[in-house]
Amino acid sequence: MSSESEPPPALRLENVSHTFTAGGRALRALEDISTRSARGAVTGVIGPDGAGKTTLLRLVAGLLRLQRGRLEVFGVDVARDPDGVRRRIGYMPQRFGLYEDLTVRENLDLYGKLQNVAPAERDARDRELLHMTGLGPFMNRLAGRLSGGMKQKLGLACTLVRVPMLLLLDEPTVGVDPVSRRELWEILAHLVHAERLTVILSTAYLDEAERCQRVLLLHQGRLVGAADPASFTAAAYGRSFHVSVSGLGKRQLQERIARVPGVIDATIQGAFVRVVTESGVQLTSVALPPKSGPLHILSVPPRFEDSFVTLLKSIRASSGSRPPVQPRGGAERAMRSAGATTARATRASGQDAVIIAEELTRRFGNFVAVDGVSFTVRRGEIFGLLGANGAGKSTTFRMLCGLLPASAGTLRVAGFDLRRAAASARGRIGYMAQKFSLYGDLSVLENLRFFASAYRLEGPRRRARISWAIEEFELAPRAQDVSRELPLGFKQRLGLACALMHEPDILFLDEPTSGIDPLARREFWWRINALAESGVTVLVTTHFMEEAEYCDRLAILAQGRVLARGDPESIKDRARSAARPEPTLEDAFIALLQAVPQPSAA
């Protein structure tokens, strides 16, 4: 393969298609993909869940039979010589492929032997890897007891025990805190630089695209774009803006801007509304209420996501489905029916706290998962609990919902401790869990009916709410389908519909948009915004920094404690420095986390 002429590329795909059959139905996972990746570069395979990322990586690793097309790794045909391909690659599957009941050292030893690393070299290599990943102090800890970030690094170390020519990483950054994410990227950059490694990784985080040398954009099994990230974003130059108006809430402003023709995307980012327009569109035509101040428009550099959303919208428009980002009548009706005016009035004057946590603590044996967490959430507010896996946000969340008793401290939700209060008190809250936990065997309609009964709806109101849900969330076309088989975005809409069935005062959302595509995420936040405007209090946990921008206020958790509390802008202020005048929320988060001493090996 080291021929004198041009060496073959690290990866070459020609007309690769892949179909799964499940329950008699054929499912197109990949459709006619042709591309190539250069050596010594990081290629990102980017797309929402179900786009075909994992299938693509598994095909490259020879773990799935190549059904159609041609696939070569460094000139080696996967179909003909899968073992030859395996000798050239290192592959880390989703969830890192670690043996959780083996220690860090045992995992490393195992993969070292499996990759035939000579015992003499192994020690040196292990030391190098441990140094690189910082796992040294945790050698004898079971892999299952590591934090998400440490697991990710161990998984990576296991694939690197012998330096491969091609490193394949499937969603290496899922469930990992921003600091660990950033560290992973630093390690990868180092490897590519120092060892001339070629890397292909998949991710659902669009902001990671900008760190790749080349991006393969997958959507519903199709390759909708393949280029370097800069050329993606270049197309959006001069079309991205930060908009704000004094005297008008960001959510109202966002709603008004989104209605302007030619606006592709309007999202909330801290105090601003971030707007992406078609080229040549003027934003001055935004209808403003009489008392508000003038429109501040600031041109900003485009992000990768801007171009992705533009691309997705053009795909949707050409396939004839509705443009989803516009606020729709339904949301407005819901807003009005819930008495938006009164709600806004209370919000303006209202400092009445709906959720109170004071010195909330939860211990599991010797381990303190949540350590004296305090915060309050006011009516009509969107409050975010931010933190990596294991930071204590899920534990806090579960205590607030009454799913877990607190070891110490007080908590009040709408005046109740939900764990002790009468069952009827729970009728005031709505809950949507991670992964949209609905009954997968039941149809959409059966799920709706069940939750209507669960929330004690009867007679005409029950009927009215069920038909409201079907209409508002556009569930009608698949109302009879078994919900397990729905696409993720649809499931998420159904989950929200069920949580809102009884018009709750308080809405608990646990990682509500993980894995869904950016358009569906925008649509989701439109609804949440409308609800908050109508006076519903929303508590949301997330590790998406971008989502945190939607929140009115945040609490950032790390190791069970509140690191910072406040609105997104004030948190960003903490990381503002001369070197970084415009920090993102992620920058702020990382700065805060790095100020905390890292846990030692216990």
Rule CB under 8 A: choose which of 262, 440, 477, 599 binds other proteins.
440
| Cβ atoms within 10 Å, residue 543 | 23
403 binds other proteins (CB under 8 A): yes
CA distance 254 to 249: 9
CB of residue 404 to other proteins, shortest distance in Å: 4
Rule CB under 8 A: choose which of 28, 39, 95, 141 binds other proteins.
95
Of 32-40, 62-70, 319-327, 532-540, the segment contacting other proteins by CB under 8 A is: 62-70
Strand partners, 299: 241
**How far is residue 554 CA from its own chain's centroid?**
17
Which pair of structure tokens corresponds to residue 185? 């990227």
CB of residue 503 to other proteins, shortest distance in Å: 14
Rule CB under 8 A: choose which of 64, 360, 388, 466 binds other proteins.
64
423 binds other proteins (CB under 8 A): yes
Interface of this chain with other proteins, residues 102 to 121, rule: CB under 8 A: 102, 106, 109-116
CB of residue 396 to other proteins, shortest distance in Å: 13
Which pair of structure tokens corresponds to residue 481? 């389908």
Which pair of structure tokens corresponds to residue 17? 């298609």
| Pick 72 or 587: Cβ nearer other proteins | 72
75 in Cβ contact with 68 (< 8 Å): no
CA distance 77 to 58: 14
Of 90-98, 209-217, 222-230, 543-551, the segment contacting other proteins by CB under 8 A is: 90-98
**Helix 518-533 vs helix 488-500: angle between axes, to the nearest 10 degrees?**
10
Residue 194 neighbours by CB under 8 Å, 6+ apart = none
Give the side-chain half-sphere CA count within 13 A for 298.
Answer: 11
384 binds other proteins (CB under 8 A): no
Angle value at C-alpha 313, between 310 and 316, nearest 5 degrees: 155
Rg, the chain, Cα only: 25
Of 128-136, 367-375, 420-428, 526-534, the segment contacting other proteins by CB under 8 A is: 420-428
Of 84-92, 340-348, 466-474, 556-564, the segment contacting other proteins by CB under 8 A is: 84-92
CB of residue 227 to other proteins, shortest distance in Å: 28
Residue 270 neighbours by CB under 8 Å, 6+ apart = 549, 567, 568, 569, 572, 585
93 binds other proteins (CB under 8 A): yes
Residue 507 neighbours by CB under 8 Å, 6+ apart = 429, 430, 431, 432, 499, 500, 528, 531, 536, 537, 538, 539
Distances (CA, A) of 230 to 190, 234, 309, 435: 21, 6, 15, 33
Locate all alpha helices (DSSP H) within 207-249, ordered by sequence. Answer: 229-234
456 binds other proteins (CB under 8 A): yes
Rule CB under 8 A: choose which of 241, 455, 473, 525 binds other proteins.
455
Residue 67 neighbours by CB under 8 Å, 6+ apart = 17, 18, 19
99 binds other proteins (CB under 8 A): yes
Rule CB under 8 A: choose which of 36, 39, 70, 87 binds other proteins.
87
Rule CB under 8 A: choose which of 1, 100, 296, 577 binds other proteins.
100
CA distance 438 to 446: 10
366 binds other proteins (CB under 8 A): no
Which pair of structure tokens corresponds to residue 80? 């003909």
CB of residue 426 to other proteins, shortest distance in Å: 5
- Cβ density class 509-524: b for 16+ within 10 Å, e for less: bbbbbbbbbbbbbbbb
| Pick 138 or 397: Cβ nearer other proteins | 397
In the chain, % helix, strand, coil (3-state, to 5) comes to: 40, 25, 35
86 binds other proteins (CB under 8 A): yes
Q: Give the number of residues in contact with other proteins, rule: CB under 8 A.
A: 69
| Pick 402 or 535: Cβ nearer other proteins | 402
x/- track of binding to other proteins for residues 128-167 (CB under 8 A)? ------------------------------x---------
Strand 506-510 relative to strand 25-37, pairing: unpaired
Distances (CA, A) of 254 to 244, 265, 273, 343, 520: 9, 10, 6, 19, 17
Rule CB under 8 A: choose which of 184, 209, 217, 401 binds other proteins.
401
Rule CB under 8 A: choose which of 438, 516, 530, 562 binds other proteins.
438
Rule CB under 8 A: choose which of 33, 42, 71, 98 binds other proteins.
98
CB of residue 65 to other proteins, shortest distance in Å: 6
51 in Cβ contact with 28 (< 8 Å): no
| Pick 94 or 292: Cβ nearer other proteins | 94
| Pick 179 or 199: Cβ nearer other proteins | 199
CB of residue 339 to other proteins, shortest distance in Å: 23
123 binds other proteins (CB under 8 A): no
Interface of this chain with other proteins, residues 469 to 498, rule: CB under 8 A: 482
71 binds other proteins (CB under 8 A): no
CB of residue 589 to other proteins, shortest distance in Å: 26
431 binds other proteins (CB under 8 A): yes
426 binds other proteins (CB under 8 A): yes
CB of residue 58 to other proteins, shortest distance in Å: 6
Interacting residues toward other proteins by CB under 8 A: 58, 61-65, 82-83, 86-87, 89-102, 106, 109-116, 158, 168, 398, 401-405, 418, 423-427, 429, 431, 433-435, 437-442, 446, 449-451, 453-456, 458, 482, 508
